[in-house]
């Protein structure tokens, strides 16, 4: 990881409209991304991970969304960008690897055309140069026989190959930032490992900063330099990866790690986090948002207005409940 900051998110709020009311899906999130680092954002489905990613590149429908705060890139707050300004950095300076490659690729266009589209929009390469660059990208992401694949349609490829195509598109203009939104969710374990290795190799080549959005803590441990753990729209713990895994503090982080099956725990019951992530409408926004899922921790041990506090160097935790948290001895969690 290098010390050159390439993206800074300050006090981000993203709210979605339900009927005539807006509800924050992202609530006061602040993050930084540095050149050549992998920043992982982890949490359960519905915690706001993808909402952050879409806010960065302006993919939310402004008729149903309100966004405030700052997302600083190249010294400018991109939240003030027009659609034309966003289009100049999407694909060129910020690459996006979407969660579902089959839904993200156009079923009516051949693979080669879809890779070249970004090159047409963002570069001055002529037709022959674009074609060569497209074949080079397919080869670079580990696709055998690029010429044949370039003439195929998305439905003719396997899930792993489609994901490689999305990576090729994201890398086509050598962006400074890559946002990878659950890039291995629908893939089997072997292909997952290949895709993650590929991302790491390509990052080293272009020195990009990667925002890795995932719920898979194994992927986080393997790839990331720093981790932001999210719950109900807020960051509840933020630290370097080694520190977070060796010294998890927030009850939610500890519960997530406790839920991972261990090789030496055969025959034991799998740890389950009680309850569910509340919906935006039903979310109680005062006090510790994780409190309802750890009811054996006294109310007095939670902060009334929990903030991210630096409890050790570069290790931030929200709410003081971590100091007195313990797992129940009766296995009723």
Helices assigned H by DSSP within 100-240:
101-104, 111-122, 127-140, 146-150, 159-171, 189-206, 217-223
pLDDT in tens, 248-294: 999 999 999 988 776 565 556 667 788 888 888 888 889 999 999 99
Give CA–CA dist 43/143, Å, rounded: 32
Does residue 156 surpass a pLDDT of 80? yes
Does residue 129 surpass a pLDDT of 70? yes
Q: What is the DSSP letter of 60?
A: S
pLDDT-above-90 percentage for the chain:
73
Does residue 205 surpass a pLDDT of 90? no
pLDDT-above-70 percentage for the chain:
95
Does residue 141 surpass a pLDDT of 80? yes
**Burial 298-322, CB ≥16 within 10 A → b, else e:** eeebbeeebebeebeeebbbbbbbb
pLDDT given at position 192: 83
Confidence at 227, pLDDT banded by 50, 70, 90:
very high
Does residue 124 surpass a pLDDT of 90? yes
Identify which of 133, 142, 56 has the alpha carbon closest to the alpha carbon of residue 93: 56
Confidence at 194, pLDDT banded by 50, 70, 90:
confident
pLDDT given at position 333: 47
> Is this model's pTM higher than 0.75 or not?
yes
pLDDT given at position 224: 95
First-last CA distance in the chain? 38
Average pLDDT, the chain: 91
Angle between helices 159-171 and 111-122 (to 10 degrees): 10
Q: What is the mean pLDDT of residues 16-36?
A: 94
Give CA–CA dist 43/49, Å, rounded: 7
Confidence at 2, pLDDT banded by 50, 70, 90:
low
Pairwise pLDDT comparison (234 vs 192), residue with the higher score: 234
Q: What is the mean pLDDT of residues 62-66?
A: 92
Confidence at 126, pLDDT banded by 50, 70, 90:
very high
Give CA–CA dist 86/322, Å, rounded: 40
Query: Which of 111-115, 142-146, 147-151, 194-198 is the least confident region?
Result: 194-198
Would you report the helix, strand and coil content of the chain in percent, each value rounded to 5? 35, 25, 40
Per the CB < 8 A criterion, the answer to whether 73 and 88 are in contact is no
Give CA–CA dist 299/291, Å, rounded: 8
């Amino acid at each position: 990881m290098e010390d050159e900051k390439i993206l800074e998110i300050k006090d981000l709020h993203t709210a979605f409209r339900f009927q005539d009311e807006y509800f924050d899906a992202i609530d006061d999130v602040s993050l930084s991304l540095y050149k050549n680092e992998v920043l992982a954002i982890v949490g359960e489905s519905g915690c706001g991970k993808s909402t952050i990613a879409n806010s960065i590149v302006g993919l939310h429908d402004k008729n149903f969304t309100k966004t405030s705060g700052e997302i600083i890139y190249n010294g400018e707050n991109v939240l003030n960008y027009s659609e034309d300004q966003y289009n100049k950095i999407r694909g060129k300076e910020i690459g996006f690897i979407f969660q579902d490659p089959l839904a993200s690729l156009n079923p009516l266009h051949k693979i080669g055309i879809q890779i070249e589209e970004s090159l047409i929009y963002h570069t001055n390469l002529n037709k022959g140069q674009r074609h060569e660059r497209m074949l080079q990208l397919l080869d670079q992401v580990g696709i055998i026989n690029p010429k044949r694949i370039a003439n195929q349609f998305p439905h003719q490829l396997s899930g792993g190959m489609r994901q490689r195509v999305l990576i090729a598109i994201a890398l086509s203009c050598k962006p400074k930032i890559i946002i990878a939104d659950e890039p291995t969710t629908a893939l089997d374990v072997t292909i997952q490992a290949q895709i993650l290795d590929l991302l790491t190799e390509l990052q080293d080549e272009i020195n990009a900063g990667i925002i890795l959005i995932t719920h898979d803590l194994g992927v986080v441990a393997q790839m990331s330099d720093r981790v932001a753990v999210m719950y109900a729209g807020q960051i509840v713990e933020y630290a370097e990866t080694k520190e977070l895994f060796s010294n998890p503090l927030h009850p939610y982080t500890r519960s997530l790690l406790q839920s991972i099956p261990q090789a030496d725990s055969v025959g034991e019951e799998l740890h389950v986090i009680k309850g569910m992530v509340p919906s935006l409408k039903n979310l109680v926004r005062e006090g510790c948002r994780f409190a309802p899922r750890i009811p054996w921790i006294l109310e007095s041990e939670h902060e009334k207005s929990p903030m991210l506090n630096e409890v050790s160097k570069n290790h931030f935790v929200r709410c003081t409940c971590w100091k007195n948290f313990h797992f129940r001895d009766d296995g009723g969690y």
